[in-house]
Chain A
C-alpha cells in the first residue's frame, strides 16, 4: 500500500467508482464460473431450486431470438407437461415447428404466475402461455414468504420502472445476482445446502421432470387438506384476471389449464367445490381474454387412469406423455386451425367457449 496526502476530491471518488464498476463487471462472470464448477446448487432465484432450469432455458431461447411456448404452474407442471412431447406432437399434427419450455415453480400460486407472465414471459416475447392452475393456487400458502425473499420475488415487489427493469436484467445476466441467495444462505446458515437431492436431478433440458414410477404408498396417505375445502382469496383471484388482461393486451394466446388429479383425491373433493372453482376461473378470465381448459373431469381422469399418476397430484412420465399430447391436439386445433384427430379423447376436457 502506498499513501498519498492529496486532498480528497470528487475526481478521486469518481475514479474509484469507475474502477469499482470495472472490477465488478470483470469479476461477476468469474463468480458464475466458479459457482457452476464448485457449487452443488443451481442459482436460487425463485421459490425453489428446480424452477431455475426452465426459466434460464426460457431466457436462453428468447436471447437466441426464439419465441417459445411457455408452460407455467406448480410442481404439477414439472411432472405433467413435457415440452419435447408437445413440440413433436405439434410437428406431427401440423407439420410446423414450435419450441416450448416448462417453467414450473414448486408451490406456485396465481400471484407468482401473474408476476412471471406480466414481467417476464410477455415482455420477453413468449408466443403462447399455458398457465396450469389448480385448486390450491388461490389462497396464501406458506411458500409466499420464501417467494418474497427470493431474488425474483424481491424484484417483483418493486413498482414498474428502472429499478425493476434493472433488477430483472441483473437476474438474467449477473452471476452475483443469480447466486445471491445461495451465497447468502451458505454464509448465514439460513438453510442446508442441497447436494444434488431433490427432483432437479431428473429435469430435462426443457425443465420437465420425468418420474416413471407410481408411488402407491402415497395414495394411502391422508388427503392433502389444501385442495378441499376450497379457499379463494380476492388478491389471488384478481391475479388470474391480471394474467388474462396482460395476455389480451399483448395479443399473446393464453390458456389456463386445470390439471387433473388422481382419482382418489378427485373423489373426495365435493362436486360443488369443483363447480365453484370452474365458475371462479371463468368469471376471473372474463370473455375472450384467455382460454380455459379443465382436465380435472370424470372422463379425463378415467382416460388417464391410475397408472398415469406418480402420486395424488402429479402425473408420471406415461401420464405426462398422454396429457401433453392432449394439450398439443387442442392447441393445434384452437390456435393453429388443425382439425382434431378422430381418435383423440379431447372431449373429456371442459373448454370455455
Chain B
C-alpha cells in the first residue's frame, strides 16, 4: 500500500489534519483514519478488530494490582486474543488435517473443511494486544483509561498490516502529548521512506517474478536455477520486509509515533544467534520477552539449575517452533522454525570462550567465513519457508545437488547484481548506524550518494508493484 499514489495522498491529508489539531483529538483523527484504511482494504473484519480491541481494553482495565479478579481477566483476555488468532489462522489447517487423517484411515466420510479468510494484519495486531495485556499485568504499564488510545495502538495505519510489533510501553505514553511535525522529523521520516522504497522497488520487486516462477516449478529446476532461486528469495524476502518496515517507520515518524527498528542488516550476522537479534527484531524480541524468558524461568524454578542446558534447549526449540507457527499453519513454517531452533541449540552447545585475539587478516577471514556459513544455514531454512510443501522443499534440495552445473554470464549477472546492490546498500546502512547519519555527510558526498541510489532505483526498479510478502502473515 505504501507505494501507491492513493496511499500517499491519504497519508498526507491525514498528516495535515493531524498537524493542525491538538491533544486527544489527534489520536481520534489517527484512529478514524486507521479504521477508514482498514475498511478500504478489509472491510469485513473491522468489527473483529474493534471487538478484540474492546475486550482487551476491558480486560486491561481490570488488571491493576488492586483489582479482585485480575488473574481471571488476564487469562480471559489472553484466551480470547489467542482464540481469535488460532481460529482464523489455524482452524482451516486443523480441519483439513483431520479430514486427511480420516481419509487416510479409510473412512468414506466427506471431509469437512473450513475455508476461512485471514483478516488483514491479524498476527500483528493480536500480538500488540497480547503485549498490552502482558505489560499491564506485569505492572510495566498502567492500564489505559482511553479506549481510543488502545485502539490506536492496535490499528495505527502505518503499522497494522505488517508491523513492526511496537510495544505498548513505547507507544501509549506518546499519545498523551500533542505531537507536532518539525523539520527534523519530516526529513527523518522521508529518509526512512526513501530507504524503504529503495529496498522494495530496486531490490525486492524485480526478483518477485523469477522467485515465484522457480518455486512454482520445482520439479523442472536445473541445479543453477535452484541455486539462483535460493539467493533471489533470500534477497527478496529481506528487502521486501525491511523495505516495508522502513516505510512504516518513516510514516510513523511523521505522526510523532516512530516505530522500533525491525532489521539491522541480518545477512551480516556471524551466527544464527546474532541473526535473530537483527531479523524481524520486533517479533524476535516479543517472543524472547513474552515466551522464552517466562518459559525458561518457569522451568528453572520447577526443575532446578542442574537442567539449565536442557531447559534452555527446550525453550529455544519451543520458541522457534511457535515463531514458525506464527507465520502460518503449514508444516513448512514449523520445519523452518524447528530448523532455526536446532541451529540455535547447536550454537549454544558449541559455544567456546574466546581465544587469544587473532591477527587482523585472520580476523577478517574468520568474519567472512562465519557470515557465509550463517547465511548458508539461513538460506537452507528459507527453502522450507517458501516451498509449498515439505516434499517440495526436499525435492528442491535434490534438484540443487544434481551434478549439472554450467555457468553462463547471464545467470551470473542475474544473481550477482541484486546481491551486490543489497550488500552495498546494507554496508552503507551498517556504517551509518542510524539512517539519518546521511544528513551529516558533506553536501558533495550526500549528493553523490543520492545520485547513485536514484539512478540505481531508476534502472533496476520494477515497473510492476508487488504486494508486500509479510502482509499475508
Contact = CB atoms under 8 A, between A and B. Distances in A.
B436 A189 contact: no
A4 B458 CA distance: 30
Contacts of A3: 440-442
A189 B409 contact: yes
A19 B173 CA distance: 40
A64 to B, nearest CB: 29
B188 A8 contact: yes
A10 interface: yes
Interface stretch (A176-184, A210-218, A301-309): A176-184
B445 interface: yes
A1 B441 contact: yes
A13 B417 contact: no
Given A8-B183, A16-B446, A189 B413 contact: yes
Contacts of A187: 413, 417, 459-460
Given A4-B440, A7-B184, A8-B439, A16 B447 contact: yes
Contact of B417 (A8, A180, A188, A191): A188
Contacts of B187: 8-10, 12-13
A13 B187 CA distance: 7
Contact of B414 (A9, A23, A188): A188
Given A9-B183, A10-B186, A188-B206, A19 B414 contact: no
A27 interface: yes
B349 interface: no
B369 interface: no
Nearest to B453: A20
Nearest to A192: B410
A2 B459 CA distance: 30
Interface in B184-215: 184, 186-188, 190, 206
A9 B413 CA distance: 40
A188 B463 contact: no
Contacts of B418: 188
A15 B443 contact: yes
Query: For the complex, would chain B's binding face be called helix, strand, loop or mixed by DSSP majority?
Result: helix
B460 A184 contact: yes
B6 to A, nearest CB: 14
A184 B459 CA distance: 6
B433 interface: no
B450 interface: yes
Residue with the greatest number of chain B CB neighbours at <10 A, chosen from A176, A183, A188, A192: A188
Interface SS, A side: helix
Q: Classify chain A: how many residues form its interface, as a range.
A: 20 to 34
Count chain B CB atoms within 10 A of each CB in A1, A3, A9, A16 and give the residue with the most. A16
B455 interface: yes
Given A1-B442, A8-B439, A13-B187, A27 B410 contact: no
Nearest to B442: A2
Contacts of A154: 463
B412 interface: yes
B454 interface: yes
Contacts of B448: 23
Interface in A150-209: 154, 176, 180, 183-184, 186-192
Given A187-B417, A188-B460, A189-B413, A20 B441 contact: no
Contact of B184 (A5, A8, A16): A8
Contact of A7 (B183, B447, B454): B183
B303 interface: no
A16 B447 CA distance: 6
Indicate the member of B409, B417, B459 with the most A CB atoms within 10 Å.
B459
Contacts of B455: 24, 176
Interface string B427-466: 0000000001001111101111011001100111001000
Interface string B15-54: 0000000000000000000000000000000000000000
Nearest to A9: B183
A226 B414 CA distance: 33
B411 interface: yes
Interface string A252-287: 000000000000000000000000000000000000
Chain B CB within 10 Å, residue with most, of A8, A180, A184, A189: A8
Given A15-B443, A20-B451, A10 B183 contact: yes
A149 interface: yes
Contacts of A4: 440, 442
A8 B458 contact: no
B185 to A, nearest CB: 9
Contacts of B460: 184, 187-188
B35 to A, nearest CB: 30
Contact of A189 (B188, B410, B440): B410
A117 B460 CA distance: 29
Contacts of B412: 189
Contacts of B417: 187-189
Given A7-B183, A10-B187, A188-B460, A24 B454 contact: yes
B425 to A, nearest CB: 15
B440 A183 contact: no
A159 to B, nearest CB: 11
Contacts of B190: 13
Contact of A8 (B409, B410, B436): B436
A268 B200 CA distance: 52
Contacts of B458: 176, 180
Contacts of B446: 16
8 closest pairs, A vs B, by CB? A189-B413, A189-B410, A189-B414, A19-B447, A8-B187, A8-B439, A3-B440, A187-B417
Interface of A: 1-5, 7-10, 12-13, 15-16, 19-20, 23-24, 27, 149, 154, 176, 180, 183-184, 186-192
28 contacts: A1-B441, A5-B440, A8-B188, A8-B436, A8-B439, A10-B186, A13-B190, A19-B443, A20-B454, A23-B447, A24-B451, A24-B455, A149-B463, A180-B458, A180-B459, A187-B459, A187-B460, A188-B206, A188-B414, A188-B417, A188-B418, A188-B460, A189-B410, A189-B411, A189-B417, A190-B410, A191-B410, A192-B410
Interface of B: 183-184, 186-188, 190, 206, 409-414, 417-418, 436, 439-443, 445-448, 450-451, 454-455, 458-460, 463
